[in-house]
Chains A and B, each alone.
Chain A
Amino acid sequence: MRSDGSQPAPLGLKIAAACGLLFLHLPILLIFVYAFTTEEKSFVWPPPGLTTQWFAVTWNRPDVWEALSLSVRVAAISTAIALVLGTLCAAAVSRTKFFGREAISLLVILPIALPGIITGIALRSAFSLADIPFSFWTIVLGHATFCVVVVYNNAVARFRRTSGSMIEASMDLGADGFQTFRHVVLPNIATALLAGGMLAFALSFDEVIVTTFTAGQQQTVPIWMLEELIRPRQRPVTNVVAMVVVLVTLLPILFAYYLTRDGDQIAGSGK
Chain B
Amino acid sequence: MTSAALNSTPAILPGSGGMRGALSDLFWRRPQLLLLLMLLPPVLWLGIVYIGSLFALLAQSFFSIDEFSGLINRQFTLKTYGDLLQAANLDIILRTVTMAALVTLASAVVAFPIAYYAARYARGRWKALFYLGVMLPLWSSYLVKIYAWKLILAKEGILTWLLAKLHLLWLLDAWLSLPVVGGNSLSVSFTGTFIVFVYVWLPFMILPVQAALERVPGNLVEASSDLGASPGQTFRNVLFPLALPGIVAGSIFTFSLTLGDYIIPQIIGTSRLFIGQAVYSQQGTAGNIPLAAAFTVVPIVIMSFYLWGAKRMGAFDAL
A23, B143: Cβ atoms closer than 8 Å: no
Q: Does A75 contact B (CB under 8 A)?
A: no
B218-243 at interface with A (beta carbon < 8 Å)? 218-219, 222, 231
A28 to B203, CA, bound (A): 14
Provide the A220-257 mask, 1 if CB < 8 A to any CB of B, else 0.
Answer: 00100110011000000010001001100110011001
A216 CB to closest chain B CB (Å) equals 12
Flag whether B146 is at the interface (Cβ < 8 A).
yes
A10 within 8 A of B: yes
Give the residues in chain A near B135, CB-CB below 8 Å.
253, 257
Q: Which one of B78-86, B87-95, B150-158, B173-181 is at the interface?
A: B150-158
Task: Given A10-B231, A174-B12, answer yes or no on A27-B267 (Cβ-Cβ < 8 Å).
Answer: no
Return chain A residues, CB-CB under 8 Å to B38: 88-89, 91-92
B46 and A229 contacting across the interface, CB-CB below 8 Å: no
Asked if A88 and B140 sit within 8 Å, CB to CB, the answer is no
The answer to whether residues A13 and B259 also contact, given A2-B219, A85-B45, A121-B279 and a CB cut-off of 8 A, is no
Q: Interface size on B (CB < 8 Å)?
A: 99
Are A27 and B152 within 8 A (Cβ)?
A: yes
How far apart sit A24 and B144, CA to CA, in the bound complex (Å)?
A: 13
Whether A54 is near chain B, meaning CB under 8 Å from some CB there, is no
Q: Which residues of B contact A126 (CB under 8 A)?
A: 52-53, 56-57
* Contact across chains for B261 and A92 when beta carbons are under 8 A apart: no
> B261, A30: Cβ atoms under 8 Å?
no
Asked if B68 is at the interface (CB within 8 A of a chain A CB), the reply is no
> How many A-B Cβ pairs are below 8 Å?
269
Find residues 115-135 in chain A having any chain B CB closer than 8 Å to their own CB.
Answer: 115-119, 121-126, 128-130
Chain A residue contacts of B71, Cβ below 8 A = none
Kindly list chain B residues whose C-beta atoms are within 8 Å of the C-beta of A129: 56, 59-60
21 contacts between A and B (CB under 8 A): A14-B117, A20-B113, A27-B149, A28-B145, A31-B151, A44-B156, A45-B161, A107-B46, A107-B51, A116-B260, A118-B260, A121-B292, A122-B54, A124-B289, A171-B28, A176-B21, A177-B28, A178-B23, A249-B139, A249-B140, A250-B136
Top 7 nearest A-B pairs (CB, nearest first) are A115-B260, A174-B13, A16-B113, A176-B24, A122-B53, A17-B117, A27-B148
* Residue positions of B touching A, CB distance < 8 A: 12-13, 15-16, 20-21, 23-25, 27-28, 31, 34-35, 38-39, 41-43, 45-47, 49-54, 56-57, 59-60, 110-111, 113-114, 116-118, 120-121, 123, 128, 130-137, 139-152, 154, 156-158, 160-161, 199, 202-203, 217-219, 222, 231, 256-257, 259-263, 266-267, 276, 279-280, 283, 289, 292-293, 296, 299-300, 303
